[in-house]
Structure 1
Amino acid sequence: MQGANTRTANMIEALRDAHDVALGEDEDVVVYGQDVGYFGGVFRVTAGLQEKHGTSRVFDAPINESGIVATAIGMAAYGLKPVVEIQFADYIFPAYDQITQEAARIRYRSNGQFTCPIVIRTPTGGGIFGGQTHSQSPEAIFTHVSGIKTVIPSTPYDAKGMLLAAIEDPDPVIFLEPKRLYNGPFDGHHDKPLVPWSKHEDGRIPEGHYTVPLGKAEVRRAGEAVTVLAYGTMVYICMAAAEEAGIDAEVIDLRSLIPLDLETIEESVKKTGRCVIVHEATLTGGFGGELAALVQERCFYHLEAPVLRVAGWDTPYPHAQEWAYLPGPDRVGRALREVTSA
């Protein structure tokens, strides 16, 4: 990427750029979903793409999530590369059967004769006053299913590069987009930036085609006192918490949950001897439990304190108490102080 032309972009613009590049470079790529075509998507990610690439490449679908995914599976088996949008992650559950029983299994049940190169994009998480039916974080239920990849970018650079990598991947990818980060990593409660996109990227993306490999984490903040594992919006919460608490925390942005970069996690935890895991999904059954088990299995003799988790409450998403439910710098900071003083 050295010397590449770059521009400043938010995550929406970066994702739109990735669609545009893929559609322009590969005639097998098609993009569709509810309001994706003429309107350009509820968050405007696909705005202008139908006008540029035509109604046979970018088009609208009925309000039928299982139908959207089912037709994508058929297109993929035929040889196309469909990129479909589920308008909110909360709406993906009608398609769960198609995703887990069909898309995830095609390669295996056909002994490799067929693959399923589909990307299912969907906005995830809370923090935009969306209420119970527009704020869920269902990533853990997909990480449990063999045969699909589950990724969550947290920067514009990663959003574009990982989406292009997902489109080029021969297997199905669940591509979760933290909608609280669409326009920047802002704390909607106080209407102020949490931290810059990252200290080395500052929201810039290269023009044209590039990819970010799936399955590789990124150390967003180097440190020696404690390892913090996070993804999506929580990456910025954790960096803000470390700064406010004055703790030398190493913050790792997982980016990809499945495949998971165990090497980076293990190297960091063995160095720091402590680990805090942060996600905004409910605590019980969340992906943090899997991370905690892996850290314990692989780093037990290096741990100086118990692995701690900071997560959402075990309740339906409480719209009236959204900012108490979501982990913030204060809750994460308390966990950092607790684990480093043990």
Structure 2
Amino acid sequence: MKAGGILGVEHGIVLAPMGPDVSGPKLVAAVANAGGLGLLASPVNNYDETVKAIRKIRELTDKPFGAGILLEFDNSKTIHAIYDEKVAFLQVYWGEFPKEKVDEAHKHGVKVLHQLGSVEEARKAIAAGVDCIIAQGLEAGGHIRGTVSLMALLPRIVDLVGDRDIPVVAAGSISDARGYAAALALGAKGVCLGTRFIATKEAYANEYYKQQLLKYTEQQTDRTDLYGRKTWRADVRCLDTPFHQYWKNSPDYDKLINDEPYPIIGHTTIYNAECDLRRFAGQVANQTTTGKLENMVMLAGQGVGLVHDIVPAAEIVKSLVEGVKAIMVQLTSTSRHDP
């Protein structure tokens, strides 16, 4: 196994584009400046706000970075902005991105990273000509498309890619250098981290949310479709908070929705748009969010048990890079001394 960069970026460490705006300009730039691949959580189908966010990142870094979009929604205006601004990378998730769309991205000089959760999806992404595949296991936080663990999924996708020049990046419960080394051993060229990067100085998450990550373990997350059902009923992994425990056991669980008559529990501003948050809203709390924060969804993966502090993003990148090198030296030394 070998640690190195991907897609022309110094290190094979990718910042997940956590929404709605946790992976904002400051965090993207911090990861990029540390030699990683930062991915912006793009505004949904909003040209002007996407341009503003991209230009803010450029004020903070001269390194290449990318932007992520969800294929579940119309994001044609956001994609237009990404192309016009000549962003280096486009990450797509939750749907198909066929060859004609990949070709269009390439015409604009944009490399495509497709995040997916199954071998079948990977086969389609390879046929479409994507530049990178992010294999997401069901341990991951946030939206989860697949049903297979990373340990089982990753080597299958690596085998499917074969000798094609398409790096595979591992996502799901990776929080330290040991997870990075394990992913490399399974054939990945890099890792994509979400939960670990929420607990950073630069993440645009609410401080209350960040602090909660330090208190939960891998056994205290849950996969659920409880949140955000009004617009998108999809599985997410989140912290199993007292609020979540109460409502997931409700006899009316399947009928609960973030709409009237459920109460407004908070307010937030997301990319300059003011929003009321009803109970069971799918948005996590950002730095502008007020209200009953303890009753809001807190997305997190099973790697949360390894998150013990809130540090600058650059420290995480450095610890991963130096840590995985130390692990490889140790493994090499051990193998040389084996009989």
TM-score of Structure 1 vs Structure 2, range by shorter chain: 0.3 to 0.5
TM-score (norm. length: structure 1)? 0.35
TM-score (norm. length: structure 2)? 0.35
